[in-house]
Homo-oligomer: A and B are copies of this chain.
Amino acid sequence: MTSAFPTGLTARAIETGDVLAPQFDRNGLIPAVATDAATGEVLMLAWMNAEALARTIETREAHYFSRSRNSLWRKGETSGHTQRVEEIRVDCDQDAVWLKVTPQGGGCVCHTGARSCFYRRVDDRGALIPASQH
């Protein structure tokens, strides 16, 4: 499989068909949300370009596109916190990706050392407080 996904499909084909035709934005990126396959917790939201998505499908290891480094990013390539991909979904209009993953290497996901990047919640006054983790 190459990273050249089909383009030009009808809205109906995109919504109801069996052809993966991700709708990358003008920067060639699509948002990808990763959840823990075991707990359902949202771990992170990152971005993929066509190559990152293709490699994720091929290798079943999560690859993203680092907007800060402007390069392909195999999650955990330096930290060891790779993500084994159990399932890949796309949404109705194929402009978002959902990965169910099993975190490897101890289970940290966030560069802060947290298990999930979403470690704070908004309280009733609009301030941030620690969120309960799984």
A residues neighboring B (CB under 8 Å): 1, 15-20, 31, 33, 35, 39-42, 44-45, 57, 87-92, 96, 98, 110-112, 114, 117-122, 126-129, 131
Count of this chain's copies in the oligomeric assembly: 2
Question: Separation in Å of the A77 CB from the closest CB of chain B?
Answer: 19
Contact A128 B92, CB 8 Å, known A31-B31, A40-B41: no
Q: Are B89 and A122 in contact (CB under 8 A)?
A: yes
**Contacting residue for A92 out of B15, B33, B112, CB 8 A:** B112
Residue from A19, A90, A91 having most chain B Cβ neighbours under 10 A: A91
Report which of B15, B33, B120 forms a contact with A89, defined as CB distance below 8 A. Answer: B120
**Contact A39 B40, beta carbon cutoff 8 Å:** yes
Given contacts A57-B122, A57-B126, A126-B20, contact A131 B92 (CB under 8 A): no
Cα–Cα, bound, A15→B113 (Å): 12
Q: Are B91 and A128 in contact (CB under 8 A)?
A: no
